[in-house]
Amino acid sequence: MTEIRRWQHRRAPGEPVSAETRDSYYGLPVIHGPHWRWSIVFYFVLGGLAGGSAVLAAAARLVGGHWARPIVRVGRYLAFLAVLPGPLLLIIDLGRPERFHHMLRVVKLRSPMSLGVWGLIGFTATAFLNALQQAAEDGWLGQRNPAAHFLRRLPARILAAASTLPAFFLAGYTGVLLGATAVPLWARNALRLGPLFLCSALSSAAAMLALLVGRGPGNARARHALERVEQVALLGELVLLEAVQRGSGPVVGRPLSNGLEGWAYAGTRLSAGVALGLHIVTKMLPRRLRPPLRLVASLVALGGAFLLRAAMIFGGRRSAEDPAATFAITRRPEDPARQAR
Protein backbone atom coordinates (compact mmCIF):
# COMPACT_ATOMS: atom_id res chain seq x y z
CA MET A 1 0.00 0.00 0.00
CA THR A 2 2.84 2.34 0.69
CA GLU A 3 4.00 4.36 -2.22
CA ILE A 4 7.66 4.29 -3.14
CA ARG A 5 8.75 7.91 -2.93
CA ARG A 6 11.48 9.23 -5.12
CA TRP A 7 13.90 9.76 -2.25
CA GLN A 8 13.61 6.12 -1.30
CA HIS A 9 15.65 5.08 -4.27
CA ARG A 10 18.32 7.74 -4.24
CA ARG A 11 21.44 6.68 -6.02
CA ALA A 12 24.99 6.52 -4.70
CA PRO A 13 24.50 6.37 -0.92
CA GLY A 14 28.19 6.82 -0.21
CA GLU A 15 28.48 10.15 -2.03
CA PRO A 16 29.11 13.28 0.03
CA VAL A 17 26.16 15.67 0.17
CA SER A 18 28.16 18.38 -1.56
CA ALA A 19 28.50 16.12 -4.60
CA GLU A 20 24.79 15.33 -4.54
CA THR A 21 23.68 18.95 -4.57
CA ARG A 22 26.19 20.09 -7.13
CA ASP A 23 24.48 18.68 -10.21
CA SER A 24 21.12 17.57 -8.95
CA TYR A 25 18.79 17.79 -5.97
CA TYR A 26 20.44 15.30 -3.64
CA GLY A 27 20.52 12.72 -6.43
CA LEU A 28 16.73 12.47 -6.51
CA PRO A 29 15.00 11.54 -9.77
CA VAL A 30 13.74 14.54 -11.73
CA ILE A 31 10.80 12.79 -13.31
CA HIS A 32 8.40 10.05 -12.32
CA GLY A 33 8.95 6.72 -14.05
CA PRO A 34 6.15 4.53 -15.39
CA HIS A 35 4.74 1.68 -13.32
CA TRP A 36 4.72 -0.77 -16.25
CA ARG A 37 5.97 -4.25 -15.52
CA TRP A 38 5.73 -7.79 -16.83
CA SER A 39 2.20 -7.69 -18.20
CA ILE A 40 3.28 -4.87 -20.50
CA VAL A 41 6.42 -6.76 -21.52
CA PHE A 42 4.28 -9.75 -22.49
CA TYR A 43 1.82 -7.51 -24.30
CA PHE A 44 4.62 -5.93 -26.33
CA VAL A 45 6.02 -9.36 -27.27
CA LEU A 46 2.63 -10.83 -28.18
CA GLY A 47 1.59 -7.71 -30.07
CA GLY A 48 4.77 -7.95 -32.12
CA LEU A 49 4.24 -11.64 -32.74
CA ALA A 50 0.63 -11.08 -33.79
CA GLY A 51 1.42 -8.13 -36.04
CA GLY A 52 4.38 -9.88 -37.62
CA SER A 53 2.37 -13.05 -38.29
CA ALA A 54 -0.41 -11.06 -39.93
CA VAL A 55 2.12 -9.27 -42.16
CA LEU A 56 3.72 -12.56 -43.19
CA ALA A 57 0.37 -14.24 -43.82
CA ALA A 58 -0.78 -11.31 -45.91
CA ALA A 59 2.42 -11.19 -47.96
CA ALA A 60 2.24 -14.93 -48.50
CA ARG A 61 -1.37 -14.61 -49.63
CA LEU A 62 -0.61 -11.69 -51.95
CA VAL A 63 2.49 -12.90 -53.79
CA GLY A 64 3.04 -16.47 -52.69
CA GLY A 65 1.76 -19.36 -54.73
CA HIS A 66 0.46 -22.69 -53.57
CA TRP A 67 3.69 -23.36 -51.70
CA ALA A 68 2.96 -20.42 -49.38
CA ARG A 69 -0.39 -21.77 -48.19
CA PRO A 70 1.03 -23.11 -44.90
CA ILE A 71 2.31 -19.61 -44.08
CA VAL A 72 -1.09 -18.11 -44.78
CA ARG A 73 -2.82 -20.74 -42.73
CA VAL A 74 -0.62 -20.75 -39.65
CA GLY A 75 0.01 -17.00 -39.88
CA ARG A 76 -3.67 -16.12 -39.81
CA TYR A 77 -4.37 -18.35 -36.83
CA LEU A 78 -1.31 -17.19 -34.94
CA ALA A 79 -2.08 -13.49 -35.53
CA PHE A 80 -5.48 -13.90 -33.93
CA LEU A 81 -4.43 -16.18 -31.09
CA ALA A 82 -1.44 -14.04 -30.15
CA VAL A 83 -3.45 -10.82 -29.95
CA LEU A 84 -6.23 -12.34 -27.84
CA PRO A 85 -4.47 -12.01 -24.46
CA GLY A 86 -3.44 -8.43 -25.35
CA PRO A 87 -6.46 -6.54 -24.02
CA LEU A 88 -6.43 -8.67 -20.88
CA LEU A 89 -2.77 -7.94 -20.20
CA LEU A 90 -3.44 -4.23 -20.65
CA ILE A 91 -6.52 -4.20 -18.46
CA ILE A 92 -4.90 -5.95 -15.50
CA ASP A 93 -2.16 -3.32 -15.64
CA LEU A 94 -4.64 -0.47 -15.06
CA GLY A 95 -4.99 1.09 -11.63
CA ARG A 96 -8.77 0.81 -12.11
CA PRO A 97 -9.34 -2.18 -14.40
CA GLU A 98 -13.12 -1.87 -14.23
CA ARG A 99 -12.80 1.47 -16.01
CA PHE A 100 -10.98 0.09 -19.06
CA HIS A 101 -13.79 1.27 -21.34
CA HIS A 102 -12.96 4.89 -20.53
CA MET A 103 -10.27 4.44 -23.18
CA LEU A 104 -13.08 4.37 -25.73
CA ARG A 105 -14.38 7.85 -24.89
CA VAL A 106 -11.90 9.68 -27.12
CA VAL A 107 -9.55 9.40 -30.09
CA LYS A 108 -6.41 11.47 -29.58
CA LEU A 109 -4.00 11.63 -32.48
CA ARG A 110 -1.11 12.89 -30.36
CA SER A 111 -1.51 10.19 -27.73
CA PRO A 112 0.06 6.94 -28.94
CA MET A 113 -1.76 5.08 -26.18
CA SER A 114 -5.15 6.31 -27.39
CA LEU A 115 -4.24 5.48 -30.99
CA GLY A 116 -2.94 2.13 -29.80
CA VAL A 117 -6.26 1.19 -28.24
CA TRP A 118 -8.04 1.85 -31.50
CA GLY A 119 -5.29 0.14 -33.48
CA LEU A 120 -5.58 -2.91 -31.24
CA ILE A 121 -9.32 -3.03 -31.87
CA GLY A 122 -8.83 -2.62 -35.62
CA PHE A 123 -6.19 -5.31 -35.68
CA THR A 124 -8.24 -7.74 -33.64
CA ALA A 125 -11.18 -7.25 -36.00
CA THR A 126 -9.16 -7.91 -39.18
CA ALA A 127 -7.27 -10.78 -37.56
CA PHE A 128 -10.56 -12.30 -36.44
CA LEU A 129 -12.03 -12.10 -39.95
CA ASN A 130 -8.89 -13.61 -41.46
CA ALA A 131 -8.78 -16.40 -38.92
CA LEU A 132 -12.48 -17.07 -39.42
CA GLN A 133 -12.09 -17.33 -43.16
CA GLN A 134 -9.14 -19.66 -42.67
CA ALA A 135 -11.22 -21.80 -40.35
CA ALA A 136 -13.96 -21.93 -42.98
CA GLU A 137 -11.45 -22.91 -45.66
CA ASP A 138 -10.02 -25.57 -43.40
CA GLY A 139 -13.47 -27.00 -42.86
CA TRP A 140 -13.61 -26.26 -39.14
CA LEU A 141 -16.99 -24.60 -39.55
CA GLY A 142 -18.53 -27.46 -41.51
CA GLN A 143 -18.86 -27.83 -45.25
CA ARG A 144 -22.54 -27.03 -45.67
CA ASN A 145 -22.85 -24.26 -43.13
CA PRO A 146 -24.02 -21.15 -45.07
CA ALA A 147 -21.91 -18.89 -42.87
CA ALA A 148 -18.83 -20.90 -43.75
CA HIS A 149 -19.80 -20.73 -47.36
CA PHE A 150 -20.13 -16.97 -47.13
CA LEU A 151 -16.78 -16.64 -45.37
CA ARG A 152 -15.03 -18.73 -48.02
CA ARG A 153 -16.37 -16.41 -50.69
CA LEU A 154 -15.01 -13.24 -49.10
CA PRO A 155 -12.16 -11.82 -51.22
CA ALA A 156 -9.11 -13.25 -49.48
CA ARG A 157 -6.61 -10.90 -51.09
CA ILE A 158 -8.52 -7.86 -49.94
CA LEU A 159 -8.80 -9.30 -46.44
CA ALA A 160 -5.05 -9.92 -46.49
CA ALA A 161 -4.26 -6.42 -47.71
CA ALA A 162 -6.63 -4.86 -45.17
CA SER A 163 -4.84 -6.55 -42.30
CA THR A 164 -1.36 -5.23 -43.15
CA LEU A 165 -1.80 -1.63 -42.00
CA PRO A 166 -3.16 -2.46 -38.52
CA ALA A 167 -0.60 -5.25 -38.29
CA PHE A 168 2.35 -2.95 -38.86
CA PHE A 169 0.75 -0.42 -36.53
CA LEU A 170 0.33 -2.93 -33.72
CA ALA A 171 3.91 -4.13 -34.07
CA GLY A 172 5.43 -0.64 -34.12
CA TYR A 173 3.31 1.84 -32.16
CA THR A 174 4.61 0.60 -28.84
CA GLY A 175 8.00 2.10 -29.70
CA VAL A 176 6.39 5.45 -30.46
CA LEU A 177 4.44 5.23 -27.20
CA LEU A 178 7.64 4.85 -25.20
CA GLY A 179 9.35 7.61 -27.16
CA ALA A 180 6.61 10.13 -26.38
CA THR A 181 7.50 10.34 -22.68
CA ALA A 182 10.05 12.27 -20.64
CA VAL A 183 11.97 9.06 -19.82
CA PRO A 184 15.51 9.82 -21.05
CA LEU A 185 16.31 6.40 -22.52
CA TRP A 186 13.09 6.34 -24.52
CA ALA A 187 13.02 10.02 -25.43
CA ARG A 188 16.56 9.89 -26.79
CA ASN A 189 15.65 6.87 -28.94
CA ALA A 190 12.16 7.98 -29.95
CA LEU A 191 12.92 7.71 -33.66
CA ARG A 192 14.60 4.30 -33.36
CA LEU A 193 12.29 2.37 -31.06
CA GLY A 194 9.43 1.95 -33.55
CA PRO A 195 11.65 0.52 -36.31
CA LEU A 196 13.50 -1.63 -33.75
CA PHE A 197 10.27 -3.15 -32.42
CA LEU A 198 9.07 -3.72 -36.00
CA CYS A 199 12.21 -5.64 -36.92
CA SER A 200 11.95 -7.71 -33.77
CA ALA A 201 8.26 -8.35 -34.43
CA LEU A 202 8.94 -9.62 -37.92
CA SER A 203 11.92 -11.76 -36.94
CA SER A 204 10.07 -13.34 -34.02
CA ALA A 205 6.95 -13.98 -36.11
CA ALA A 206 9.00 -15.52 -38.92
CA ALA A 207 10.82 -17.71 -36.40
CA MET A 208 7.58 -18.81 -34.78
CA LEU A 209 5.91 -19.57 -38.12
CA ALA A 210 8.95 -21.50 -39.30
CA LEU A 211 8.60 -23.62 -36.16
CA LEU A 212 4.89 -24.10 -36.67
CA VAL A 213 4.55 -24.81 -40.41
CA GLY A 214 5.91 -28.29 -39.88
CA ARG A 215 8.96 -30.23 -40.90
CA GLY A 216 7.54 -32.07 -43.91
CA PRO A 217 9.28 -31.81 -47.29
CA GLY A 218 6.12 -30.18 -48.67
CA ASN A 219 6.77 -27.21 -46.44
CA ALA A 220 10.46 -26.82 -47.23
CA ARG A 221 9.98 -23.90 -49.55
CA ALA A 222 7.74 -22.04 -47.11
CA ARG A 223 10.19 -22.61 -44.29
CA HIS A 224 13.01 -21.43 -46.46
CA ALA A 225 11.19 -18.20 -47.39
CA LEU A 226 10.37 -17.53 -43.75
CA GLU A 227 13.97 -18.00 -42.73
CA ARG A 228 15.06 -15.48 -45.31
CA VAL A 229 12.65 -12.89 -43.96
CA GLU A 230 13.84 -13.69 -40.47
CA GLN A 231 17.43 -13.03 -41.52
CA VAL A 232 16.58 -9.67 -43.08
CA ALA A 233 14.69 -8.63 -39.95
CA LEU A 234 17.48 -9.84 -37.67
CA LEU A 235 20.00 -7.84 -39.65
CA GLY A 236 17.88 -4.70 -39.28
CA GLU A 237 17.48 -5.44 -35.60
CA LEU A 238 21.23 -5.77 -35.07
CA VAL A 239 21.88 -2.45 -36.79
CA LEU A 240 19.19 -0.69 -34.75
CA LEU A 241 20.34 -2.24 -31.47
CA GLU A 242 23.78 -0.81 -32.11
CA ALA A 243 22.28 2.55 -33.11
CA VAL A 244 20.23 2.71 -29.91
CA GLN A 245 23.24 2.03 -27.72
CA ARG A 246 25.46 4.53 -29.52
CA GLY A 247 22.75 7.15 -29.81
CA SER A 248 22.02 6.97 -26.10
CA GLY A 249 25.52 7.92 -25.09
CA PRO A 250 27.27 6.91 -21.87
CA VAL A 251 24.91 8.60 -19.38
CA VAL A 252 21.48 8.01 -20.90
CA GLY A 253 22.59 4.57 -22.07
CA ARG A 254 23.62 3.41 -18.59
CA PRO A 255 20.73 0.94 -18.19
CA LEU A 256 21.75 -0.67 -21.48
CA SER A 257 25.32 -1.30 -20.43
CA ASN A 258 25.13 -2.50 -16.81
CA GLY A 259 22.84 -4.14 -14.30
CA LEU A 260 20.14 -6.67 -15.07
CA GLU A 261 18.72 -4.52 -17.88
CA GLY A 262 22.20 -4.28 -19.36
CA TRP A 263 22.46 -8.06 -19.34
CA ALA A 264 19.07 -8.31 -21.00
CA TYR A 265 20.14 -5.85 -23.67
CA ALA A 266 23.39 -7.70 -24.25
CA GLY A 267 21.34 -10.89 -24.42
CA THR A 268 19.12 -9.33 -27.07
CA ARG A 269 22.11 -8.47 -29.22
CA LEU A 270 23.67 -11.85 -28.64
CA SER A 271 20.54 -13.75 -29.55
CA ALA A 272 19.97 -11.70 -32.70
CA GLY A 273 23.58 -12.28 -33.70
CA VAL A 274 23.51 -15.97 -32.83
CA ALA A 275 20.22 -16.59 -34.65
CA LEU A 276 21.49 -14.82 -37.75
CA GLY A 277 24.85 -16.60 -37.57
CA LEU A 278 23.23 -20.01 -37.12
CA HIS A 279 21.02 -19.49 -40.15
CA ILE A 280 24.04 -18.61 -42.25
CA VAL A 281 26.28 -21.35 -40.91
CA THR A 282 23.60 -24.02 -41.25
CA LYS A 283 23.70 -23.75 -45.01
CA MET A 284 27.29 -24.99 -45.02
CA LEU A 285 26.69 -27.98 -42.79
CA PRO A 286 25.74 -31.57 -43.65
CA ARG A 287 22.04 -31.92 -44.28
CA ARG A 288 21.15 -34.02 -41.27
CA LEU A 289 22.56 -31.37 -38.88
CA ARG A 290 20.40 -28.62 -40.30
CA PRO A 291 16.94 -29.16 -38.75
CA PRO A 292 18.07 -29.08 -35.11
CA LEU A 293 20.25 -26.02 -35.68
CA ARG A 294 17.41 -24.21 -37.39
CA LEU A 295 15.19 -25.05 -34.49
CA VAL A 296 17.74 -23.58 -32.10
CA ALA A 297 18.08 -20.45 -34.24
CA SER A 298 14.33 -19.87 -34.21
CA LEU A 299 14.06 -20.39 -30.47
CA VAL A 300 16.95 -18.02 -29.87
CA ALA A 301 15.31 -15.35 -32.04
CA LEU A 302 12.08 -15.70 -30.06
CA GLY A 303 13.95 -15.36 -26.78
CA GLY A 304 15.65 -12.24 -28.13
CA ALA A 305 12.30 -10.61 -28.87
CA PHE A 306 11.31 -11.14 -25.25
CA LEU A 307 14.61 -9.86 -23.85
CA LEU A 308 14.40 -6.74 -25.99
CA ARG A 309 11.02 -5.69 -24.59
CA ALA A 310 12.09 -6.49 -21.03
CA ALA A 311 15.37 -4.57 -21.40
CA MET A 312 13.61 -1.56 -22.87
CA ILE A 313 10.77 -1.34 -20.35
CA PHE A 314 12.80 -2.00 -17.23
CA GLY A 315 15.73 -0.01 -18.62
CA GLY A 316 13.37 2.94 -19.10
CA ARG A 317 12.20 2.68 -15.52
CA ARG A 318 15.80 2.77 -14.35
CA SER A 319 16.67 5.67 -16.60
CA ALA A 320 13.76 7.69 -15.17
CA GLU A 321 15.33 7.32 -11.73
CA ASP A 322 18.64 8.75 -12.85
CA PRO A 323 18.73 12.57 -12.59
CA ALA A 324 21.96 12.71 -14.58
CA ALA A 325 20.19 11.06 -17.52
CA THR A 326 17.26 13.49 -17.42
CA PHE A 327 19.57 16.46 -17.16
CA ALA A 328 21.68 15.08 -20.01
CA ILE A 329 18.73 15.54 -22.35
CA THR A 330 17.30 18.70 -20.80
CA ARG A 331 20.32 20.92 -20.19
CA ARG A 332 20.47 24.10 -22.18
CA PRO A 333 22.91 23.87 -25.10
CA GLU A 334 25.11 26.62 -23.66
CA ASP A 335 25.42 24.88 -20.29
CA PRO A 336 29.05 23.72 -19.88
CA ALA A 337 27.91 20.60 -18.03
CA ARG A 338 26.15 19.52 -21.22
CA GLN A 339 29.52 18.45 -22.61
CA ALA A 340 29.67 15.75 -19.97
CA ARG A 341 26.83 13.81 -21.49
Partner 1 sequence: MSRESTLVGRTRARPGAFGFLTDTTLCIGCKACEVACKQWNQLPMDDFGFTGMSYDNTGDLGATTWRHVAFIERVADREGRRPTRLQPFQSNWLMLSDVCKHCVNAGCMEACPTGAIIRTEFDTVVIQQDICNGCGYCVPACPFGVPALSPLDGKAHKCTLCYDRLKDGLEPACSKACPTDAIQFGPVHALMDRAKARVAELRAQGVEAQIYGDEALGGTGGIGGLNAFFILTAPPEVYNLPAAPELPQRRVLPAFLTTALAALALGLATLVTFWRSKEVRHD
79 binds partner 1 (CB under 8 A): no
Going residue by residue from 7 to 26, which x/- string records binding to partner 1, judged by CB under 8 A? Answer: xx--------xx-xxxxxxx
Q: According to CB under 8 A, which one of 46, 50, 79, 103 is a site residue for partner 1?
A: 103
- Dihedral sign for Cα atoms in the order 69, 71, 72, 78: positive
Please, what is the minimum distance in Å from the beta carbon of residue 274 to partner 1? 21
Tell me the C-alpha distance between 338 and 335, whole Å: 5
Q: Which of residues 226-285 bind partner 1 (CB under 8 A)?
A: 228-229, 232-233, 236
Nearer Cβ to partner 1, position 122 or 263?
A: 122
Specify whether the CB–CB gap between 307 and 299 falls below 8 A.
no
Query: What are the residues whose beta carbons fall under 8 Å from the beta carbon of 150, sequence distance 6 or more?
Result: none
Q: Which of residues 166-205 bind partner 1 (CB under 8 A)?
A: 168, 172-173, 175-177, 179-183, 187, 190-195, 198-199, 202
Please, what is the minimum distance in Å from the beta carbon of residue 5 to partner 1? 5
Please, what is the minimum distance in Å from the beta carbon of residue 124 to partner 1? 17
Tell me the C-alpha distance between 283 and 64, whole Å: 23
Contact region for partner 1 (CB under 8 A) — 139-147, 152-160, 299-307, 332-340?
Answer: 332-340
Nearer Cβ to partner 1, position 24 or 271?
A: 24
- Dihedral sign for Cα atoms in the order 294, 300, 301, 303: positive
Tell me the C-alpha distance between 278 and 219, whole Å: 20
Tell me the C-alpha distance between 209 and 202, whole Å: 10
Please, what is the minimum distance in Å from the beta carbon of residue 144 to partner 1? 34
Distance of alpha carbon 274 from the chain centroid: 19
